[in-house]
Structure 1
Amino acid sequence: MLKTYWFNASLQKKLVMTYLCLVIVPIIIFSCVVYRAYSNSIQSSVNEYANETLRQITLNMDTHLNTLAQLTLTPYFLEPYSREDALSIWGKVAQNLREQSDLDKWTSDFAFNSIMKGHPEVVGVYFFGARGQIYGHLNFGYVPEGYDIKQAPWYDYVNNASGKPVFLNVGMPSFVVDGYEPMFATARQMYDAQRRLLGTFVIFTNMSRLNDIAENAQLKHFDKLYIFDLQNRLIVGKTGNPEENRIIAELSQKGKEAAGQVVTLNKQTYRVTYGYSEFSQLHSLYLVPSITLFKQQRFVFYLILGFVIFSTMISFLIFVWIARRITSPLKQLQLLMIDVEKGNFDVVYSVRTEDEIGRLGASFNNMISQMRRLVYEVYEAELRKKQADFTSLQHQIRPHFLYNVLETINMMAEIKGVHEIGDMISSVGELLRLSLHRNDYGTVGDEIRYVQSYLSIQQIFHKNSLQVSIKVPDEVLELRCNKFILQPIVENAILHGLDCELGKQTIRIDGALEEGRFRLYVTDDGRGISESRMRVILEHLSVEHPESIGLRNVLDRIHLYHGGRYGLRICSMEGEGTTVQITLPVLPA
């Protein structure tokens, strides 16, 4: 169906459809590719920005946590006032309340002077000894005596670290009495020189410093940042509802697999970036809202779309204008051809250009001019043909009574014994009988019989001094030809070429068949034709003579019926004789 529509469509439609396929479609595809590439570039840029932001936050976190980790090593160093390190002091077990009070006071002084001074985020310091001793200080609340640190849910992480610092969100631990603020713990197990466990040292800090680090990262308004400790407990970030809590928890559990995922929180989609610190073992999720991507993508999309629509409309209008400029002359030619089909040859195409269409229009004008000339020539030829037929008929003896009279005379001549007169009258009667047929065509055989009758009369007239030789192949005798084309030539040969008083003269008629045509030759051995006479004859043949019934009549009828390719040719030499050649097309009878 599409193929049929294409073949039946106008040239202008084909040009427009070709334009759509070759120009508009590639523009649209190219625009889509550009938009896709730009979107990927924007997405890559946003991902790179998110990764860089997350790396910077992680670096700042690690810097702060490294400071806390360094503080957890303080008990290993000598205390400047007592010349003892804190571990040696904390390694003692109080025997009474006074010793316990002295050790608590020493620990408080140690915490203020060595750790909390210059670090306002530190809210407490505690040492949980391997033999059950507990020494420490908190700005709010306290840890009761007899508490076993091994009962803390995060103790296993500290124990598995084997002396390395562990960073934990302990929230508001149940072992702190009168505590009212969530805390972040930096814990480390302490060993003596023989790698014997002395206890666990914990520095408690508030969450403000960690939150400040996240806020100083200057996150965009709609971005979300979540930082988790190795327990997958949230350190930084807020969740608004249970569904959000569930999604964030699932992403935290997935770890690296969460990177690149798209999630929906509060009807807003986010793209997830994942980060992890080998030092602190904290992992983070940075959620960038899709609107951050879509804003830039939407702007570029509308820009490209506007460009495509504008350029398409402008180029389409220009192309339609060009297509009309090309097809309008062709439509004009088509209308003129329709007029010609209806028989109106008085049309002219106005040629305004010299391109292919202009040359086509000029050729059309030439063709119409040639057609007008040919129509006129055909008309004139028909008139000449009718005139020639009329002239031929005028000079034919048609009356039947004359034929009957000649038959009567012939019978009387036979009765009286005058046989020569009977033969002549019989030949004349045959001539009259053959001439009574009004068909335009006969066969070569008919023409030969007609000429034989005529030559019989001439032989009697010339007392047998005229010799006749007819050699025409049988295949030529069966071909069609115009009537009465041989007799005028034979008559001219006898009247103007032969002189029978000088002796025997010969008329020879030959025929030959060639490819697509045949030739008849009428040859005499008479006096021939001089050059001056030949010029007169040829001039006579080149000028129309409507009344002529001789050579000119024969030539005109051959041209009228068969065209200029066929006709007569005269070859003669003075004193040697004359040959007239007749060339006709092969037309089966």
Structure 2
Amino acid sequence: MRIRGRRTKSIFVKFSVSFLLVGLIPLLALSFFSVKTFSGYVERYTTSNLQQMVLYMSYNLNSAFNQYNEVSKLMYTGRYEGFIESYSQNQTQNVNVLEQINSIPIDSFLKTVLFSDPYISGVQFIRSSDGKIYYQERGNRSLNSETVPDEEWLAKMAEDPSKVAIFPAHMDSYFYGSGRQVFTIGRSLIDTSGRVTKEPKVVGTLFLDIDTSLFQQFFRELSLGEKDELYLLDGEGRTYFSNQPASAGLLTPKLRENDEMIVLSEKVPFLNGQVIAKVHRGSLFEQLLSARATVYLAIMICALVMIVMGAWFSRRLAAPIRELIKQMAVVESGKLDIQLTVNSNDEMGRLAHGFNRMVERLRIYIDEAYVAQIKQKQTELSALKSQIRPHYLYNTLEVIRMNAVDKEAGEVADMILALSNELKYVIDYGEERVSIASELAHLQNYFYIISVRYENRFELKLDIAPNINMEWPILKLSLQPIVENAVQHGLRQQGKGTVGITIERRDQVLAVTIYDDGIGMNRDNLARINSILDNAEAPSKNVGLKNVHERIRSSFGEEFGLSVSSREYIGTSITLTFPVINE
């Protein structure tokens, strides 16, 4: 019980549980969310695609009805209900006496209409005066006039003779030996010659039998399954065509979407009706459901593998660390002659190897403790000596200066004082940043020695703006190399001149400009120097300029540094920029 309690408090058990929770919870959550999102997207995309196909099919059906409507209009040559008049004929005489339509024999006209479209399987023309039936059939089959539902068709046509009529799908069994399923389009031939009467004068009626295979080519694009239903309805809800048997001509109940079926519909303007597709969800998303089940199975397998790997990893990681803890307790007791066995080259093996080296070095350290203390004393003495040497140099220069004063050599004494101050400023290994006042004091000491050396032919001018705080920090030894370049390369070649320094504040930028009225530089040399300053890796003979530029950027940032401008025979101007630091 005690061992079990100790193991439950072990960090490895906690780590394993945390590893499993951190791994499993996001895996399960992300997997279920991804599957749900993907399934929803696929369902929406599939449904939208199917809706587009139904829309396309309704457009094709409407176009087909309009096409056959135009075919039925071939009978007209006069004006009636908006039809364009080309020439006027007495259709009553043509049909009843001459047995022709538009100056063409009725049989020839029917044959022309029959072969004007491949889906027209039969054409009939019923003369109104005596009920005589003229017909043409694509297979030259005979007509059984007794089985033709002409009374039913003509009764419906009589309700509005000026409009085309469409009759639901039926079998054309009135042709001997034919078993085709067709739908029929009817149009009345109205005599428009003579006086317009209140009731249209119908001289005959044309019926076109259209093979329903026309619909099949459109419906085939939907790839409907056995459980899917398709209906072509008129405005009153009667079925013109359906893939369900014994439904043509019947009222179709309202189709509503449910968990098992998806109902999609689009209008067919010619029929004032609609086409409705009722698609079975299970058949439509069968592959999606299979993929979803596969993903869930993969998730369960991954979770099981993660649990097994977590347990195995915990046991493998815990065993060598427990051994290490045991040996550390031995080392704490003061026994340093133990060694762990290294069984692998992984992190645990390197940890055991490091433990062995630590114990060995600890033993060596104890043996060499006194030697280290002696070396520390020697280091302290060396540090004291390095501090004594500069003071000795300062004291020697002071003795020489006092001797020059005693001998009334004032200029020599002043030069020694300036040199001593310079050495103190340069050798002092203090802060990298100094105040503006300290840097200018060092620069004045340097320029004093330069002016004495060159017989006062060079002059230094300072122009400091009133809003400048002399305690603001700048980079130590940043101005002297620039002034030295101005004297050596700008003024010395012409014999005399002036070096000017202006200090001003530009918002949060401190700008120090060092200029001279020396010989200046041509454009090529100026471009070369600016290119060297911009490229940190470019070698340069102008070590002073580049050194100052790189030191400023390293200390204050890339936006600060040094810029050079010059004109030949006029002079050179170098601007150094620093941030304004008030602390």
Say yes or no: TM over 0.5.
no
Flag the structure with larger Rg.
1
TM-score range, shorter chain: 0.3 to 0.5
In the superposition, the TM-score normalised over structure 1's length comes to 0.42
